[in-house]
Chain A
Amino acid sequence: MTEPIAPPPRKDPQKRTRTSLLPPVPRSRAALQMSAAAARGELSLQVCAVCGHLTYPPRDACLACLSASLHWQPVPEAGQILAETTVRTTTDAYFRERTPWRVGTVRLDAGPVLMAHLQGDVTAPARCRVRAMLDKSGNAVLIALPEEDTPNMADDPQFRELTATPKHRRVLITDGRTAVGQAVAQAISESGASTVFVGIATPWLPFDGQDRLNAIPNAEIVPLDVTDANSVRELAGEIGGKTDILINTADHVRPGGVLNRQGLATTRDEFEVNVFGLQRLAQHFGPGMVGRGADGIRAAVALVDILPVYALANWREFGAHSASAAARHSLLQCLRGEMRTGGVRVMSVFTGPVDDDWRQPLPPPKVAPEAIARALIQALENGTEETFVGDIAKDVATRWRDDPKVLERELQG
């Protein structure tokens, strides 16, 4: 059984912070497709469209019939561990400082045999579950977990390399003025974070939920206005060195598109928060996080952005807001590559219309802030790069994957 991780001691000021190293990065294009599925938390393997043969490792033609029509398809995670080893010597710098490292040969019930990391509670021979998760390089890897969850399972060091779990970590939530920010702060606190910094802009303006924030035991209110470079810089100066997870809950939303808005003032406000705000946060907190990607138990591990799913395709009712979300999405893609160099994952939590004042006239379904918070915690615990919260976000994502151009027409009604 996995020993629970003890709260880490304070940092030894005389010790150099370890440089983040990455596990092997190169992958074939086919393997990247497995990474794309793992980014969403799916274990997907290739199946032949002609003969139905299920195959692994990723390849470019079916070994059973030589068809080139291989499609990625989610597969059941049940399998059997056939053999295991504990790697104690390796020429790879990343693994070298993490040995001993356990891996095993697993046969999926679905057929294919694969190599997988072994969570500490599984040993050969045994039944197991196989998950596809992203490692620090951002690529999919497989890990064998016990058939049933075990106590403190997530504290296993090999498993923890693949997650961004808040336990013992210090988390910054950038905007606590909104119901989403407050729900996230509460959930993060309950998930074992050691400190929850909650940013509040224009503190002289009262807001709903102030009492709720104040009641969170390990929450610490900090001044933060993402539209103000100074404010972001000052906060980063104060807590940038101990921000292990940054969760951007700031979102400026107003109804309207292009022609039904006069001028740019409102759109500019949206971009100031949604796009430039994210960029300011990333510029001031990112380098520090990238530098702390291997800083022990409390290594900086994730930058999370909560953004509307209309980042993928514009929704006319909130057309300008969608445009800012698209820009935000694009920045996140850029950041994903930039922060990966330090082993810090950039995670997108896409939501449908949030159940708040601005979406008040919209019919259900709408996403409750608590649902967003739950999904976000799950995303951190699974290390998934993309999460879609709520029926609408999932629906939009499905349609988008099916055909973005059709979705565009559907959303423009």
Chain B
Amino acid sequence: MKRQSYQGVAVACPVSVPYTRYSIESAHWWIARALKDLCDRAGFHHHDLDGLSVSSFTLHPDTGVGLTQHLGLTPRWLDHIPMGGASGVVALRRAARAVQSGDAEIVACVAGDTNHVDSFRKLLGSFSRFAQDASYPYGFGGPNAAFALLTDHYMRTHGATRAQFGSLCVDQRTNALNYPHAIMKKPLTLDQYIDARAISDPLHLFDCVMPVAGAEAFLVTREDIARDLGLTFARPLATIERHNAFPDDPIQMRGGWAMDVDELWQMAGLTPEDMDVVETYDDYPVIVAMQMEDLGFCGKGDGANFLESHDTTVGGSFPHNTSGGQLSAGQAGAGGGYLGLVEALRQVTGQALGAQVPDAKRALVTGFGMINFDRGLCSGALVLEGA
């Protein structure tokens, strides 16, 4: 059966609550700020929301349910998406269907986390059963160690170099310097990247995201409602989602995108070359390289090469992670899974907070999340077009 299009769905109101390295506030506080900003921009009261999609790691002991009472919402459609880096794409595709079917009219999608001084450690300790049993007792390196192993294997297999990954990180830092909310405010040179201290070999300091507190949000509604509200919006053309892809690969060399990439471009009726902006999930450079391959921008094993051979800054030949990505903007927990989507929404609707990619109309957004044990399990992608 052919998948239905997302016709009539509007995505609007990109919201980013400025990040802080640490916060004494709760996830509830951060999510509330994002919602408030969202509603202010949309011009309605938050009581008017009839749908809510929440993603957060630090909401415990609450879920989206508790949040409704906490924030005074009475939605008729509620979703809680625990997919970390894949949350944004997944939230959008679920909300889009709800709106299309009439189960809801105005859905606020929000992701946010606080970052207490010790919350990252606590989060790791209870992240997943497999991690608890089979990875954290091994040095407790968290995602750094997991990605270090993937990176080590990728470099070993494809001959990728640190300098190639470095070119990506340096470009993203350049983008971040124009993005007001980025946590990283100083320029980064390739030498600095190469000389940085090792975190978990072969990963060094600038290969790793910095956990921060923050929140991101966007609105999903019908086009007619968006127009009535006078909102600038974009249309989702295609999405994909996949979990635990290629379980027989002994070590992760590709994400779920590789399973669904053809469907993504078919549904969008576009090709990789048609993209004006690409916002990938970038908690570590290696996964960006894999996405270039899996989403059709280059051949398998050529991802790092591709990144090095392109100028991925806003003004470059391949505008990518235009807000600096998580590597330079910071990783606000589940908000990291929204960062690229919210930025893409701004870019294709001409609302960039920092540098605007000229005439950007179409963007590819990806999500990737949840190192359950040795690899990321959730992947998703979205093609977004400014209305």
Chain A contact residues, CB within 8 Å of chain B: 23-24, 26-28, 30-31, 56-58, 63, 82-92, 94-95, 99, 101-105, 107, 113-117, 124-125, 135, 137, 139, 141-142
Interchain CB contact under 8 A, A125 and B156: yes
The answer to whether A87 and B145 touch (CB under 8 A), given A24-B136, A113-B251, A115-B138, is yes
List chain B residues, Cβ under 8 A from A82.
Answer: 153, 250-251
Interchain CB contact under 8 A, A92 and B121: yes
Q: How far is the CA of A107 from the CA of B250 in the complex (A)?
A: 7
Is B141 interfacial (CB 8 A cutoff)?
yes
Q: Separation in Å of the B78 CB from the closest CB of chain A?
A: 29
Chain B residues with a Cβ closer than 8 Å to the other chain, count:
38
List chain B residues, Cβ under 8 A from A115.
Answer: 134-135, 138, 149, 373-374
The 6 closest A-B pairs by CB, nearest first: A92-B140, A85-B148, A57-B134, A91-B121, A87-B139, A83-B153
List chain B residues, Cβ under 8 A from A87.
Answer: 139-141, 144-145, 148, 200
Is B285 interfacial (CB 8 A cutoff)?
no
Q: 1/0 contact trace for B161-197 toward A, CB 8 Å?
A: 0000000000000000000000000000000000001
Is B214 interfacial (CB 8 A cutoff)?
no
Q: How far is the CA of A116 from the CA of B139 in the complex (A)?
A: 10
Is B150 interfacial (CB 8 A cutoff)?
yes
List chain B residues, Cβ under 8 A from A83.
Answer: 149-150, 152-153, 156, 251
B197 to chain A: closest residue by CB: A88
Q: Separation in Å of the A38 CB from the closest CB of chain B?
A: 12
List chain A residues, Cβ under 8 A from B140.
Answer: 23-24, 87, 90-92, 94-95
Interchain CB contact under 8 A, B199 and A88: yes
16 extra A-B contacts, CB within 8 A, seeds A57-B129, A90-B140? A24-B140, A30-B133, A58-B134, A82-B250, A83-B149, A85-B152, A85-B200, A86-B201, A88-B201, A91-B142, A92-B136, A105-B149, A107-B250, A116-B138, A124-B156, A141-B137
List chain A residues, Cβ under 8 A from B148.
Answer: 85, 87
List chain A residues, Cβ under 8 A from B145.
Answer: 85, 87, 103
List chain A residues, Cβ under 8 A from B305.
Answer: none
Q: How far is the CA of A90 from the CA of B200 in the complex (A)?
A: 9
Query: Which of A23, A26, A103 touches B141 (beta carbons < 8 Å)?
Result: A103
List chain A residues, Cβ under 8 A from B149.
Answer: 83-85, 103-105, 115
List chain B residues, Cβ under 8 A from A89.
Answer: 141, 144, 199-200
Q: Separation in Å of the B138 CB from the closest CB of chain A?
A: 4
List 15 A–B pairs whose Cβ atoms lie within 8 Å, in order of A's numbering.
A28-B129, A31-B134, A58-B133, A82-B153, A83-B153, A85-B145, A86-B198, A87-B148, A89-B144, A90-B141, A90-B142, A95-B141, A124-B156, A135-B137, A141-B137
